[in-house]
Structure 1
Amino acid sequence: MADDRTDSAWGTFLELGDPADGPLHVRLARALRTAVTGGRIASGSALPPSRSLAADLGCSRWVVTEAYAQLVAEGYLEARSGSATRVRAGAVAAPEAGGAVAARWEPEFDLLPGVPDLRAFPRRRWAEAVREATGTLEWAELGYPDAAGLARLRQRLAAYLVRGRGASLDARQLVVCAGTLDAVLRLCRALRAEGHTHVAVEDPGWSRLGATVRAAGLVPVPVPVDGDGLRVDLLRGARQVRSVIVAPAHQFPTGVVLAPARRAELVAWAREVDGLVLEDDYDAEFRYDRHPVGALQGMAPEHVVLMGSVSKTLSPALRIGWAVAPPRWSAVLGAEHVGGMPPPVIDQEAFARFLAAGAYDRHLRASRLRYKRRRDRLLAELAASLPGLPVSGAAAGFHLLLSLPDCSAAVVVEEAARRDVRLADLDDHRMVRTADAAGRTLVLGYGNVADQAVPGAVRRLAEAVAAARRRGQDREHRHGGVHEHDHERDRGSLGDGGGGEPAG
């Protein structure tokens, strides 16, 4: 916890009241006392020097020194020679527990998917890029940003996507945004303005996508995913749908890669319905058994929007993303009326410099090696501690699936939490829960767990699985051997999005 003695109360608003309420030094002491007892000035906070406060109030210094002296005598303040006058420790009552902000649970082992290795964020190189950007931006560039993004970053990103992702574009088609969800929201608003009413999403999938589609006033339509990716044959059956959000390079959370035949089928569908494919390229740079799969956008740039961000490659805290759209859509995406806000200009310029210096490529190469090594270690530990449990998902990104043939994934998540391990149940990412979804699969993320922590995390996971098995056996024993699902499953199929609310 930071030392609260470094806090400053220089900007505190003081209500001095009317001159009829008494001399100014009395009213100032009363205002300061109220600010301290009311919690607006925290314990240990430094008050401004008497000369500075007197200048701000337009009064003599004597008024301030008299007010300070009164509050020192009453025990609210403390004054030391050579140091600032501060609020005395303990003078401010601690807030009641009910008013405190709840602390976020930070487990010892965090195996949630979707978070990169935050310990590996290139702090020094990024700080250098920010410092250089701050010193070199033109004065005019420090005003309100272009809604489409900084021109230099758009050019650098366009070159990177052509080279690294096999995309087909020029910089005018690229819009810089505040992450993938910002791009989806802008696109959905533009689709709605063009008469679209429904947008298909993968099921299971990233639950926040469905929520974002709804926020734009459209209806998300769940389309099942199998071992080859999105079921395009079922997508064709949804006649009200002319746009779909899909992650072809590495589907979340199943980890499958859209098969070549499905890629061609999806592009053919988009051309037939004059539709739009929103390609979520969230972690496509990380493939460990072969070269990364090229972007679908390169096959059909007239019908595919390529969306990406640095949330999985650098950090979600940067809020830098992009969308490469066909010309008829890119102009709309970069318009102010669709909402959204580009990242801060200084951060955009810093990322442009990061790209230009080759630092981004070097970071990606190092990350691929680190994640591959970590994935291999995780697989070895799972084989040793949980032998026989099937593992699936492409050798890509930083998550995999662990099947649990004889216990409930939801129960394992509960038992793991008791052991200070955070896990995810695959069913939490389903929009439609069917009878064949038996709740027997975990999504294990290994991006943000340290290499040396992997063995301990797997041991705790094995303990949680063992405890879940015992709970299942006890339940069967109580019910005479009749198996009961841990959670009720709703039957559902491809529909109009009414089959259930997305999680999260």
Structure 2
Amino acid sequence: MAVSRTNLAWATLLDIGPADGGRRRLHDRLAHALRAAVREGRLAEGAVLPPSRALAEELGCSRWVVTEAYGQLVAEGYLSARVGSATRVAWLPDAAPPGPRVPREPARPPIRYDLAPGLPDLRAFPRRRWADAVRAVTGSAVHYDLGLPDPAGHAELRTTVARYLRRSRGADTGAGSVSVCAGVTDALVRTCRALRAEGIAELAVEEPGWGRLRDAATSAGLRVHPVPVDHDGLRVDRLARTPARAVVVGAAHQFPTGTVLSPARRARLVRWARNVDGFVIEDDYDAEFRYDRPPVAVVQGMDPGRVFLLGSVSKTLSPALGLGWLVAPPAMTPALRAANLVAAAPPVLDQLALAAFIDRGWYDAHLRAARRRYRSRRDLLIQTLGTQVPEARVTGTAAGLHILLHLPDTIDTRGTVRAAGAAGLRLADLDDYRANRPADRALVLGYGNIGDTEIPAAVALLRDALRTPAGPEDR
């Protein structure tokens, strides 16, 4: 095994036992403890043991005790030692004896192509510039930045996010109203807790919509009321019939339909919030990616005293970063933070790295390149679907990272998803995002995390899955 700093065994717990009246000498007890650690797998084959002098100092014994124990285990084949080289574990525990055969479910085939929504192009993550940002802030952070983080987020990132939202999304906010969180779901949970503490117990959500947002609301103790969405976005007239005093809405790009809340609906939504003394929770989902329409400003800019604004970098950079933001109405900011006293902010160095990434213009450059790439990929997907699945109809194409594929009523979408999965293609059924009875049959096809060259083969598998007869479990 090549020398590696990752397989050091210096921190292994060794139980050398009591002196037991001198019946076993110390080097024998040490050899027994090392032998047990090797046989139990706590010291893996190739692990580097500490030099005899270092281990003797750790155990408070003479160096001779350690060299005698090492020598005994080398003779037994547990360790190997060469002059000028480290002492290593040379013994591999035997495989467990075969037991009774336990029947296992057949292994699922690996996913070869991913057309499910929810992920950006992870291959295009800006590794070099992100590493540069992390390196820069690690070197420049002052000592108190390395202490306990501010639960609201580092002031530098809150200031940067506020400037970015004012410039790019038309938001009306300052750093004092911004909280840094782990993503949109975390932001919604915090918001719902604050609303619950203020006496609001009913929340409306879009139908269809992202199920995780419904789960987040119920976990915070709110009762959820689905409200339908049409070609102009949320049906505010139907919202007014519910007992809700708060609503979650994707105004710039509703998931999964892809609709944009029309100007008239925006005005009616703000009036509704004022009339019921309630709040709008705006999920700014996929707002950065638009192709066939101009940018749409956030509703929050229309009434910052009634609208919470939620956003993250999960769809623009990567969900692995766990970085997002929550803009609260100024009057609600104290209640928001009081209701989430144990909410943990993301790591400070990651926050500072995102602030540097935005301030240096790298975030805008990444988004410009991503828009060009996604537009080209979307066009390729639509063209391929038109050729191979001509009976389907595509909607929701103007923005975002997914489209809707509407299918004939004779198609069983659940069976299609199952058949595609068996062939190595991941799909999503629109029914999975509905709380009520489905109105039509459609698939939600994401194109963020699939390569351009993979699209023809993925659509071919989709075509074959559509032609697969439904099994008994799908009927």
TM-score normalised by L of structure 2: 0.92
Kept in 1: contact 2:193–2:339 (CA 8 A):
no
Where 1:340 maps in the other structure, the secondary structure is: coil
Kept in 2: contact 1:5–1:44 (CA 8 A):
no
Aligned to 1:252: 255
Aligned to 1:442: 443
Q: CA deviation at 1:72?
A: 2.6
Instruction: Compare 349-358 and 76-85 and name the one that shifted more.
Output: 76-85
From 373, 388, 391, the equivalent of 1:388 is 391
| CA spacing shift, 1:173–1:6, aligned 2, 3 Å | closer
Aligned counterparts of 2:190 and 2:274: Cα–Cα separation in 1: 22
Q: Kindly, what percent of the aligned residue pairs are identical? A: 57
Kept in 1: contact 2:152–2:179 (CA 8 A):
yes
Aligned counterparts of 2:109 and 2:8: Cα–Cα separation in 1: 29
| CA spacing shift, 1:123–1:74, aligned 2, 3 Å | same
The AA in structure 2 aligned to 1:179 is G
Aligned to 2:171: 167
Where 2:304 maps in the other structure, the secondary structure is: coil
Where 2:467 maps in the other structure, the secondary structure is: helix
Aligned counterparts of 2:98 and 2:59: Cα–Cα separation in 1: 34
Aligned counterparts of 1:453 and 1:317: Cα–Cα separation in 2: 24
Aligned counterparts of 1:430 and 1:35: Cα–Cα separation in 2: 53
Q: CA deviation at 1:107?
A: 1.4
| CA spacing shift, 1:322–1:56, aligned 2, 3 Å | same
Aligned to 1:125: 129
Aligned counterparts of 1:141 and 1:6: Cα–Cα separation in 2: 29
From 77, 82, 85, the equivalent of 2:84 is 82
Indicate yes or no: 2:309 matched with 1:306: yes
From 15, 31, 36, the equivalent of 1:34 is 36
Aligned to 2:53: 51
Aligned counterparts of 1:91 and 1:12: Cα–Cα separation in 2: 17
What are the within-5 Å matches in structure 2 for residues 120-159 of structure 1?
120-159=124-163
| CA spacing shift, 1:465–1:368, aligned 2, 3 Å | same
The AA in structure 1 aligned to 2:378 is R
| CA spacing shift, 1:92–1:274, aligned 2, 3 Å | farther
The AA in structure 2 aligned to 1:255 is G
Aligned to 1:431: 435
Where 1:186 maps in the other structure, the secondary structure is: helix
Aligned counterparts of 2:42 and 2:262: Cα–Cα separation in 1: 60
Which string of whole-angstrom CA distances, capped at 9 and with x for unpartnered residues, describes residues 280-318 of structure 1?
112101000122211111111110011100001111111
Aligned counterparts of 1:242 and 1:92: Cα–Cα separation in 2: 64
What are the within-5 Å matches in structure 2 for residues 202-351 of structure 1?
202-239=206-243, 241-335=244-338, 337-351=340-354
Aligned CA RMSD, in angstroms, stands at 2.4
Aligned to 2:16: 16
Q: Can you give the 5+ residue segments of structure 1 that lack an aligned partner in the other structure?
A: 476-484, 488-504
| CA spacing shift, 1:249–1:96, aligned 2, 3 Å | farther
Indicate yes or no: 2:456 matched with 1:452: no
The AA in structure 1 aligned to 2:218 is R
Q: Can you give the 5+ residue segments of structure 2 that lack an aligned partner in the other structure?
A: none
The AA in structure 2 aligned to 1:175 is S
Kept in 2: contact 1:296–1:304 (CA 8 A):
yes
Instruction: Compare 263-272 and 33-42 and name the one that shifted more.
Output: 33-42
Kept in 1: contact 2:202–2:222 (CA 8 A):
yes
Kept in 2: contact 1:421–1:460 (CA 8 A):
yes
| CA spacing shift, 1:360–1:19, aligned 2, 3 Å | same
Kept in 1: contact 2:109–2:422 (CA 8 A):
no
Where 2:86 maps in the other structure, the secondary structure is: coil
Where 2:240 maps in the other structure, the secondary structure is: helix
The AA in structure 2 aligned to 1:460 is L
| CA spacing shift, 1:92–1:80, aligned 2, 3 Å | farther
Kept in 1: contact 2:412–2:470 (CA 8 A):
no
Kept in 2: contact 1:43–1:92 (CA 8 A):
no
Q: CA deviation at 1:398?
A: 0.6
Q: CA deviation at 1:331?
A: 2.6
The AA in structure 1 aligned to 2:194 is A
Aligned counterparts of 2:333 and 2:3: Cα–Cα separation in 1: 48
Kept in 1: contact 2:109–2:424 (CA 8 A):
no
| CA spacing shift, 1:353–1:333, aligned 2, 3 Å | same
Q: CA deviation at 1:89?
A: 5.5
Aligned counterparts of 1:361 and 1:146: Cα–Cα separation in 2: 27
Which string of whole-angstrom CA distances, capped at 9 and with x for unpartnered residues, describes residues 364-422 of structure 1?
10010010000000011111111121111142111111122131111111111111111
| CA spacing shift, 1:85–1:159, aligned 2, 3 Å | same
Kept in 1: contact 2:429–2:443 (CA 8 A):
yes
Where 1:274 maps in the other structure, the secondary structure is: coil
Count of matched residue pairs:
465
Aligned counterparts of 1:394 and 1:229: Cα–Cα separation in 2: 15
The AA in structure 1 aligned to 2:329 is P
Aligned to 2:418: 414
Where 2:245 maps in the other structure, the secondary structure is: strand
The AA in structure 2 aligned to 1:26 is D
Aligned counterparts of 2:450 and 2:16: Cα–Cα separation in 1: 54
Which string of whole-angstrom CA distances, capped at 9 and with x for unpartnered residues, describes residues 453-476 of structure 1?
111111111121122xx348xx8x
Q: CA deviation at 1:50?
A: 2.0
Aligned counterparts of 1:183 and 1:3: Cα–Cα separation in 2: 45
